[in-house]
Amino acid sequence: MRNFKLTLSYDGTDFHGWQTQPNLRTVQQVLEDGLFSLTRERVRVSASGRTDTGVHAVGQVVNFRSDTRLSPETLLRGLNAHLREDVVVKEAAIVPDAFDANRDAKRKLYRYVIHDGAVPELFLRRYCHHSRYQLDAAAMARAADCLRGTHDFRCFETEWPNRASSVRTIMHLALNRMGDWIWLDVAADGFLYNMVRAIAGTLLNVGRGYWPESEVAAILQSGDRTRAGPTAPARGLFLMRVEYDPA
Amino acid sequence: MRNFKLTLSYDGTDFHGWQTQPNLRTVQQVLEDGLFSLTRERVRVSASGRTDTGVHAVGQVVNFRSDTRLSPETLLRGLNAHLREDVVVKEAAIVPDAFDANRDAKRKLYRYVIHDGAVPELFLRRYCHHSRYQLDAAAMARAADCLRGTHDFRCFETEWPNRASSVRTIMHLALNRMGDWIWLDVAADGFLYNMVRAIAGTLLNVGRGYWPESEVAAILQSGDRTRAGPTAPARGLFLMRVEYDPA
């Protein structure tokens, strides 16, 4: 039995998220169905983390164990031929037996994409949040400064109290504007449920002038989810990359 | 009664083309329904030309006559609030009563977008044709040279004989590559049914080395649709712009 690692992209629009649920189309389900049709094995695919309904992935990482004799390259081509066009396997490899995509993830990078042009970008509407307000990206970037480093992020957690700690470390955070586009990149050792979308929703309130920049630090201090902004729409969120220690 | 001109963008993926058909979702239908809900008038909207199922528009132009007292700006905002997100009104204006979006169109620009990377571009799959073959864009560009100017283009016409002439003038034609992307721009005084897609399908056969470059000129000479390449998929085609004489 070998341990396979796959890197996937998917368009979350028509998926009910990652995790298998009865009678709903999920990424895990279509992937496991694809593997069954290729290998005749019912394998269980484990992801670096779940993504919610409508959230996209550029570089989701998963692993599964299988007795198949197919090479990773054959598996990749076979899966891509079998899968519908909103999910693509970008890489396939054999990894050490101990590798676990979820447990071993050291760092994840999420990107939240916002468009604040007067007219929505028709052809990219599924892949960004359109703000009806013109946003002050510089103010958003300054307000976000306080989020870098190790903090208790429960104020940005949808389901608190969770089973474990709400303390996470944001190693990288950048907010940039180019033309009518703003993108927020956040890399951390782990993310709480809806954390990036809650941060985005909070920064959107700052960007449109509804809250002062200092509000973000105050919210973080308070540990109170009800003080933070709304969970921003799923369509703007991309899981960009998952990083592991070198094998 | 005033004559309104609208400039529209739409994502053709979920439309059965421009023209109203019973029980099918078309751009004309949703636009006329939107106008009815705003003005309580049943108006007839005339486009610069029909687009087929799956074909996109960046700058389709339409006109209609109405007794509404609404300003063009109010109409634009009201329509965009009413329409679903796959069609957007970009401009609205009052034009001279004689203006007709179809009859007065002097020049149209279509763009056909091809991607020939090894892995399909997931997030742009609705907006390009993915070629499984690596294409020789320089050969395609040279092969297309013979199409510029005034010719009988019946070899690229899906429904020949048509009611009128198959002679058209291509004023501008350019084929460019950037990275894995190739786009073909064609501006003409008018287009035959499926003309750009038939040209694209023909050039794709050249690009993948199935036909020599000289084949395109021979096909044009022959006037024989069965000699030209297949009609390339609708998803790669965009109506970019329609030009009129200054009022």
Instruction: Please check the confidence at residue A188 and state whether its pLDDT lies above 90.
Output: yes
Best to test chain B binding among A10, A84, A122, A132 (most B CBs inside 10 Å): A122
Q: How far apart are CA A5 and CA B224, in angstroms?
A: 51
The per-residue pLDDT for A130 is 96
Return the higher-pLDDT residue of A160 and A57: A57
Tens of pLDDT, residue by residue over B76-129, are: 999 999 998 899 999 999 999 999 999 999 999 999 999 999 888 899 999 999
Q: How far apart are CA B119 and CA A9, in angstroms?
A: 11
pLDDT over 70, % of chain B: 100
Tens of pLDDT, residue by residue over A98-147, are: 999 999 999 999 999 999 998 888 999 999 999 999 999 999 999 999 99
Annotated catalytic residue B67: no
Tens of pLDDT, residue by residue over A89-106, are: 999 999 999 999 999 999
Return the higher-pLDDT residue of A246 and B110: B110
Q: How far apart are CA A119 and CA B175, in angstroms?
A: 29
Chain A nearest C-alpha distance from B221 (Å): 38
Q: Which residues of B touch A120 (CB under 8 A)?
A: 85, 88
Q: How far apart are CA B72 and CA B92, in angstroms?
A: 5
Q: Given B11, B14, B33, B52, which residue is catalytic?
A: B52
A243 pLDDT tier (thresholds 50, 70, 90):
very high
DSSP string, chain B: -EEEEEEEEE-GGGS--SS--TTS--HHHHHHHHHHHHHS-----EESS---TT-EEEEEEEEEEE-----HHHHHHHHHHHS-TTEEEEEEEEE-TT--TTTT--EEEEEEEEE--SS--GGGGGGSEEPSS---HHHHHHHHGGGSEEEE-GGG-SS-S-SS--EEEEEEEEEEEETTEEEEEEEES---TTHHHHHHHHHHHHHTTSS-TTHHHHHHHHT-GGGSPPPPPGGGEEEEEEE----
Tens of pLDDT, residue by residue over B164-214, are: 899 999 999 999 999 999 999 999 999 999 999 999 999 999 999 999 999
pTM (predicted TM-score): 0.87
The per-residue pLDDT for A140 is 98
The per-residue pLDDT for B247 is 67
Instruction: Please check the confidence at residue B223 and state whether its pLDDT lies above 90.
Output: yes
Contact between B62 and B31 (Cβ < 8 Å): yes
Best to test chain A binding among B122, B125, B127 (most A CBs inside 10 Å): B122
Tens of pLDDT, residue by residue over B31-70, are: 999 999 999 999 999 999 999 999 999 999 999 999 999 9
Instruction: Please check the confidence at residue A45 and state whether its pLDDT lies above 90.
Output: yes
**Distant-in-sequence, close-in-space partners of A102: CB < 8 Å, separation ≥ 6:** A46, A47, A48, A49
Tens of pLDDT, residue by residue over A48-91, are: 999 999 999 999 999 999 999 999 999 999 999 999 889 999 99
Contact between B96 and B13 (Cβ < 8 Å): no
Instruction: Please check the confidence at residue B163 and state whether its pLDDT lies above 80.
Output: no
pLDDT over 90, % of chain B: 94
- ipTM of the assembly? 0.80
A247 pLDDT tier (thresholds 50, 70, 90):
low
C-beta atoms of A11 and B86 within 8 A:
no
The per-residue pLDDT for A162 is 75
The per-residue pLDDT for A239 is 98
Return the higher-pLDDT residue of A182 and B158: A182
C-beta atoms of A9 and B88 within 8 A:
no
- Average confidence score pLDDT of chain B: 95
Nearest chain A residue to B10 by CA distance is A122
Q: How far apart are CA A165 and CA A17, in angstroms?
A: 24
Tens of pLDDT, residue by residue over A193-230, are: 999 999 999 999 999 999 999 999 999 999 999 999 99
The per-residue pLDDT for B198 is 98
The per-residue pLDDT for A164 is 85
Burial B70-89 (b: 16+ CB within 10 A, else e): bebeebbebbbebbeebbbb
Chain B nearest C-alpha distance from A96 (Å): 26
Angle in degrees, CA A4, A237, A115, rounded to 5: 145
The per-residue pLDDT for B194 is 95
